[in-house]
Amino acid sequence: EVQLLESGGGLVQPGGSLRLSCAASGFTFISYSMLWVRQAPGKGLEWVSSISGDTATTYYADSVKGRFTISRDNSKNTLYLQMNSLRAEDTAVYYCAKCISGCHKGGIDYWGQGTLVTVSS
């Protein structure tokens, strides 16, 4: 059974940093691209970032480029999102998700339960 368990969310001040983690199990982690999607309170879904299984390729939304870094540790079956220079508009539930193979032209099949990030003074 595929399981994705996010952690690391919380309250942070504007300008601060936070690192989200997503522990994966139930599949061969290195074989699949992964991504992060966020959802601001009461709003729709927004793609944030994607990473290939071999870590060679990463993509970012313009809204987070230069501030967020996606990475993965295939030895630990864990996906990360390092978030720096946080802004109020980054407040959202952050979901990690598994892609069917690659994310580009592959699609998403499984989602984690999400972790809430609140940026406020």
Partner 1 sequence: IQMTQSPSSLSASVGDRVTITCRASQSINNYLAWFQQKPGQAPKSLIYASSSLQSGVPSKFSGSGSGTDFTLTINSLQPEDFATYYCQQYDSYPFTFGGGTKVAIK
Binding to partner 1, residues 48-67 (CB under 8 A):
50, 59, 61-62
β strands within the chain, DSSP E: 3-7, 10-12, 18-25, 34-39, 45-51, 58-60, 68-73, 78-83, 92-99, 108-111, 115-119
Give the binding-site size for partner 1 (rule: CB under 8 A).
24
Which of 45, 55, 73, 76 forms a contact with partner 1 (CB under 8 A)?
A: 45
Under the criterion CB under 8 A, does residue 79 sit at the interface with partner 1? no
Which of 10, 15, 107, 120 forms a contact with partner 1 (CB under 8 A)?
A: 107
**59 and 8 in contact (C-beta within 8 Å)?**
no
Q: Which of 1, 15, 6, 16 minimizes the C-alpha distance to 37? A: 6
Q: Which stretch in 21-29, 40-48, 71-79, 82-90 sits in contact with partner 1 by CB under 8 A?
A: 40-48
User: Which is closer to partner 1, CB of 37 or CB of 83?
Assistant: 37
User: Which is closer to partner 1, CB of 11 or CB of 45?
Assistant: 45
For the chain, state the CA radius of gyration: 13
Number of Cβ within a 10 Å radius of residue 84: 14
Which of 44, 56, 75, 121 forms a contact with partner 1 (CB under 8 A)?
A: 44
